[in-house]
């Protein structure tokens, strides 16, 4: 995190930013809480006015929240007002992961992607959705991947924009020798693991240690959250240093998300979700993962940590019904390019309607 960027962020947050605008925006949406497995789960539920809309549950990531998905609500639930047709409409469910934002903070162990995925299935059941699809990026991709492997009643397809299985063993997904595309992806992943995943290691091994700083200092929280991957950091920093945001990654929207973490004191509990994921993976070590038999859609965004080759997606998921490479957007695709992201979901899930 560079000094000029964090100084400008602090200056903006102190002198110009107005949380009440974000608060009003959230309060204009249908928000709810329901107790699942001992925790109050917060979620936004926007029903489409279009007949035969397809229910969709989308899971945010870290260091995101439901804030990163807000700009997709209009295009997904009301496509006719955003360049799509009524046949592309979704009923949209946006839950907050336990320990993030307005959902309860877990007080017991075991809240990894599998348990969260099971909770999401219960949430959709309570909402009366017997046939639905799921989407996720970043941590949300891990939850969505887990949902696909759980053979959940009613789940008919998933879409992700981060290939979660590659985080476990990208080499196993490659040909021998790797193709040019695969070699580039392997090199990018190795570079990230060597120079860019400090946050991942710290949160997966010492979440409480970094958590004390995240609960004590708003500037520590902001700096930690903004320094994710190189592409995302550079785009976010530009908004504060040069005043040139990338897509929807504006100063206001970035600080909306940071403020949500600060006001709910969820910096440490969100960090702990990485430790939970590690524990879940350790318990599954040596076991072949359950295959995903339902249809899978995948979109590669150019600014992602690595460009995912189609060969990797098809090896990870035997039933790929949609794959596309787009020309803009990065790791936080729904946040940065909500219009393009929404178009991708319409296309990916169109065959399942």
Helix (H, G, I), strand (E, B) or coil at 44: strand
Report residue 162 as tokens.
Answer: 């981060």
In this prediction, residue 288 carries a pLDDT of 83
CB 90 within 8 A of CB 258: no
- What is the DSSP pairing of strand 320-325 with strand 31-36? unpaired
User: Is residue 159 classed exposed, middle or buried when 0-12, 13-18 and 19+ CB atoms within 10 A define those classes?
Assistant: buried
Active site residues: 138, 274, 331
CB 98 within 8 A of CB 116: yes
Determine the Cα–Cα distance for residues 55 and 52; give it in Å rounded to an integer: 9
29 phi and psi, to 5 degrees? -100, 155
Diameter of the chain by CA atoms?
56
Q: Helix H segments across 284-316?
A: 310-316
Report residue 114 as tokens.
Answer: 């599998």
Half-sphere exposure of 11 (CA within 13 A, CB side): 8
The number of domains in the chain is 1
- 132-136 sheet: strands from edge to edge: 31-36, 39-46, 90-95, 54-59, 132-136, 155-160, 296-300, 320-325
In this prediction, residue 284 carries a pLDDT of 85
CB 302 within 8 A of CB 328: yes
- List the one residue out of 67, 125, 79 whose CA is nearest residue 349: 79
Domain residues for 195? 3-352
- List the one residue out of 196, 70, 62 whose CA is nearest residue 137: 62
CATH number at residue 229: 3.40.50.1820
The H or E element spanning position 93 is: strand 90-95
Peptide bond into 11 cis (omega under 30): no
Contacts of 327 (CB under 8 A, 6+ apart): 302
Model confidence pTM above 0.85: yes
| Dihedral sign (CA 329, 157, 103, 97) | negative
Please give the chain's pLDDT, 353 residues, in tens.
Answer: 999 999 999 999 999 999 999 999 999 999 999 999 999 999 999 999 999 999 999 999 999 999 999 999 999 999 999 999 999 999 999 999 999 999 999 999 999 999 999 999 999 999 999 999 999 999 999 999 999 999 999 999 999 999 999 998 999 999 999 999 999 999 999 999 999 999 999 999 999 999 999 999 999 999 999 999 999 999 999 999 998 999 999 999 999 999 999 999 999 999 999 999 999 988 988 888 899 999 999 999 999 999 999 999 999 999 999 999 999 999 999 999 999 999 999 999 999 99
Contacts of 177 (CB under 8 A, 6+ apart): none
């Amino acid at each position: 995190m560079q000094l000029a960027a964090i100084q400008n962020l602090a200056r903006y947050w102190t002198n110009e930013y107005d949380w009440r605008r974000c608060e009003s925006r959230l309060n204009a949406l249908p928000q709810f809480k329901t107790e699942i497995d001992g925790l109050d789960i917060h979620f936004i539920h926007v029903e489409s006015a279009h007949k035969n809309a397809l229910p969709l549950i989308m899971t945010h990531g870290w260091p995101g929240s439901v804030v990163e998905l807000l700009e997709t609500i209009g295009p997904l639930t009301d496509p006719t007002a955003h360049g799509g047709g009524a046949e592309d409409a979704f009923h949209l469910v946006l839950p907050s992961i336990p320990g993030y934002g307005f959902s309860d903070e877990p007080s017991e162990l075991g809240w990894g992607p599998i348990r969260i995925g099971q909770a999401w299935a219960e949430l959709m059941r309570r909402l009366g959705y017997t046939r639905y699809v799921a989407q996720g990026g970043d941590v949300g991709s891990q939850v969505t991947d887990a949902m696909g492997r759980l053979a959940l009643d009613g789940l008919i397809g998933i879409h992700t924009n981060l290939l979660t299985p590659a985080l476990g063993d990208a080499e196993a997904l490659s040909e021998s020798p790797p193709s040019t595309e695969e070699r580039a992806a392997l090199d990018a992943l190795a570079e990230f693991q060597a120079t860019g995943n400090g946050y991942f290691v710290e949160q997966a091994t010492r979440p409480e240690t970094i958590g004390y700083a995240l609960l004590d200092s708003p500037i520590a929280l902001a700096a930690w959250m903004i320094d994710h991957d190189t592409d995302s950091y550079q785009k976010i920093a530009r908004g504060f240093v040069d005043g040139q945001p990338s897509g929807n990654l504006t100063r206001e929207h970035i600080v909306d998300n940071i403020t949500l973490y600060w006001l709910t004191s969820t910096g440490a509990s969100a960090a702990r979700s990485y430790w939970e994921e590690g524990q879940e993976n350790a318990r599954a070590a040596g076991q072949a993962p359950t295959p995903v038999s339902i249809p899978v859609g995948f979109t590669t965004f150019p600014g992602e940590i690595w460009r995912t080759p189609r060969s990797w997606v098809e090896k990870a998921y035997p039933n790929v019904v949609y794959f596309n490479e787009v020309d803009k957007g990065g790791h936080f695709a729904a946040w940065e390019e909500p219009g393009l992201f929404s178009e991708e979901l319409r296309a990916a899930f169109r065959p399942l309607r």
